[in-house]
Amino acid sequence: MLAFDPIIEEFSAPANSVAGQSCPSWRDAAFPVVDVFAGPGGLGEGFSLSSDEKGRPCFKSVVSIERDLFSHQTLLLRHFIRQFREGEAPDEYYTFLKGGMTRDEMYRLYPEAYANAASSALRISLGPESHTEVKKIIRDRVGECRRWALVGGPPCQAYSLVGRSRMMGRKDFAADERHTLYLEYLRIIVDHRPPVFVMENVKGLLSATIDGKSAITRIVRDLSHPGTAIPGAPDDLSYKLYSLTEQDMAEGDVDPRLFVVRAEEYGIPQARHRMFIVGIRGDLKVRPGSLKKMIAPTVQETIGSLPSIRSSLSKAKDSPAAWQSELRAISSMNVRRQLNGAVYASDVAKALDFQKLIEVKSPHQISSSRYSMRKPAHEVLRSLYDGRLTVLTAHEARSHMASDLRRYLYAATFAEKTGRSPKLADFPTSLLPDHKNVEEGRIGKMFSDRFRVQLAGHVSTTITSHISKDGHYFIHYDPTQCRSLTVREAARLQTFPDNYFFAGPRTEQYHQVGNAVPPQLARQIADIVAEVLHAVPDEQ
């Protein structure tokens, strides 16, 4: 069943509207791309950024499918913005970002652009009930075009290492739809025979099993020969599968580990390891190029220009004075003695000067919309900035318990002095959490890095959807701020542009950012796919 977004109502253009001036005619030469399981649009954003030597876009998103309500709202808004030439988004979009008008009001001013966006960004739950309708939609949008791409990946929670360990005890784990949603992707391949597809999923898929058998082995087999999994699929349909990082990998049986892309090796400021499988239809004599390695910017280079803000207190009335009072308690803990002569004890204890850190340097505000116009030198980061942007969205700190604030202060100070994030064994006993398995963590048996600082001089660890639930794994490197990363900081580490708006409550925004493909990695992949499609003959 199709579940189109019920929030945006149908409307007609106001009588005095000067709207919809931007039409798709200027993009007619672009390759169509179909994006399924699109989330907030990370893959699609990257493909929209790919351009030829004359600056013309290589791809046009004709269908993007996502079933989550808030992710779809984000996706729809971005499709609306893409109806306009790069750098020519309407002034009303920036008014919307400042809170000066609603999305509906903006859409009403540009009815043609909205109609185009609403026809390409679809809220659909993929499955047997929607299969016939989805088949018709893609057939209508792709038409007779022989050169187009299918991209996307099924939801990854059931395959992820953390998600799988939590779900193994569930009786319905084996039947969880997220194990087999890739079959919906496969059915689209069978129905439409795209010349090239890109499938993305988590590295944890390498060790996942379905019915006791290797999940990745099954998926690679099915992608290579869809008829093995889809009844009635034509026998002549096959795909050659390629890695994006191993140019010389042999065709035929391959080591699935070669499909893993380490994003930090390609300019993304994050150690994000994901699987990308490129499939090229068997009748085509084309093979893709490889990603080109690039030094990634550090966490500080990526988020350091954002305004400093402090965390706020949860479970207590918050104010700058109350916040400082809770942190002041660390001064009476005699941290140096509790560190039991560790080599770093003196340096960390000396640096943990409450007066210098908190009373003098800490910011008072818990959010900021001030946008810095300072543009960095790094190629990847330059693309995140927007000279027309006057406000920053989604840069608001979460609230934390007072005891966690002190742990964050200690952890960030420790990281600053030692160059690494502390393990539980590095914490003074007075700052240890009151959890039953803390001692196991202290001796390294489990969750020893429960509090993880994102080091200023390195790339970040993987931004995951777990960031929506707590901030312990995503502590800001600056001790004076005592907080976890904001949505905007996480979005920058994922290389979303600063003008990218994430719909929904803050928890949902974190979830969208954590599950997305970094757009700047997707752009590099799109460049490779464009080269493949240019080599595909118009007639076969």
Q: Supply the residues annotated as catalytic.
A: 156
SS3 214: strand
The residues with which 396 forms a beta bridge, in sequence order, are: 367
The torsion angles phi and psi of 59, rounded to 5 degrees, stand at -130, 150
Report whether 103 contacts 77 (CB < 8 A): yes
Q: What are the C-alpha distances in Å from 294 to residues 259, 268, 298, 454, 521? A: 18, 9, 13, 21, 11
Report whether 455 contacts 421 (CB < 8 A): yes
Report whether 316 contacts 287 (CB < 8 A): no
Q: Which long-range contacts (CB under 8 A, 24 or more apart) does 137-143 make?
A: 137/63, 138/34, 138/63, 138/188, 138/191, 138/192, 139/191, 139/192, 141/32, 141/34, 141/62, 141/63, 142/32, 142/34, 142/62, 142/192
SS3 310: coil
The residues with which 216 forms a beta bridge, in sequence order, are: none
The torsion angles phi and psi of 332, rounded to 5 degrees, stand at -100, 10
Q: Which long-range contacts (CB under 8 A, 24 or more apart) does 406-409 make?
A: 406/326, 406/327, 406/329, 406/330, 406/431, 407/431, 407/433, 407/451, 408/311, 408/451, 408/475, 408/476, 408/482, 408/483, 408/484, 409/327, 409/330, 409/352, 409/357, 409/358, 409/479, 409/482
Residue with tokens 């220009």: 305
